[in-house]
């Protein structure tokens, strides 16, 4: 990997010197035209711009590209399978009614993903705490918490069925 490169959704990009000074959010939205990551407050407070960098949630509006070199970044566009199948977290948000206007949803999904990476069976309070940095003005938070719990269950069930298939 080039010293001024970054991997986004599995694809490597080489950054120009000028691009090192812009934010990750600007790079995603204006250079790569990956508009799923939203610009909510530009202060890192609302969570709408959350993406995953090396399996950690980061606020892309506050992160300079110079700090992202060498990292592997996943955006909401990188969550679905190559065939277009939604990730279980995305599907759980839809099935739980945790999506209304959709503006905060990409950041919520990314935060939920990071939570479930570190804690695949969180209780409601843990989910509530993990999602605290993401603001929503439409759904209320109960459906979002329900969605994260449903996603955790589906991922666990999916992993168990994969494991069971290996044993037969």
Domain count, the chain: 2
- The CATH code of the domain that includes 161 is 1.10.150.120
DSSP 29: I
pLDDT above 70 (res 82): yes
pLDDT digits (tens, 9 = 90+) for 7-54: 999 999 999 999 999 999 999 999 999 999 999 888 888 999 999 999
Taken in order 143, 146, 152, 154, the sign of the CA dihedral is: negative
**Mean pLDDT computed over 150-161:** 86
Q: Are residues 106 and 157 in the same domain?
A: yes
Q: Are residues 71 and 103 in the same domain?
A: no
**pLDDT score for 45:** 83
Residue range of the domain that includes 107: 88-167
pLDDT digits (tens, 9 = 90+) for 91-121: 999 999 988 888 889 999 999 999 999 999 9
């Amino acid at each position: 990997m080039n010293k001024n490169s970054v991997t986004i959704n599995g694809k490597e990009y080489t950054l120009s010197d000028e691009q090192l000074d812009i934010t990750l959010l600007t790079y995603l939205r204006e250079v790569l035209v990956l508009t799923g990551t939203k610009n909510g407050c530009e202060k890192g407070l609302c969570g709408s711009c959350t993406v995953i960098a090396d399996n950690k949630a980061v606020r892309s509006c506050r992160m300079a590209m110079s700090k992202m070199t060498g990292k592997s970044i996943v955006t909401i566009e990188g969550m679905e399978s190559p065939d277009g199948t939604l990730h279980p977290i995305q599907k759980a948000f839809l099935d739980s009614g945790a999506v209304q206007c959709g503006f905060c949803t990409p950041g919520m999904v990314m935060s939920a993903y990071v939570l479930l990476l570190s804690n695949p069976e969180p209780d409601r309070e843990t989910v509530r705490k993990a999602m605290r940095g993401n603001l929503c003005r439409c759904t209320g938070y109960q459906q979002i918490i329900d969605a994260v719990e449903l996603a955790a269950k589906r991922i666990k069930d999916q992993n168990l069925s994969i494991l069971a298939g290996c044993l037969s």
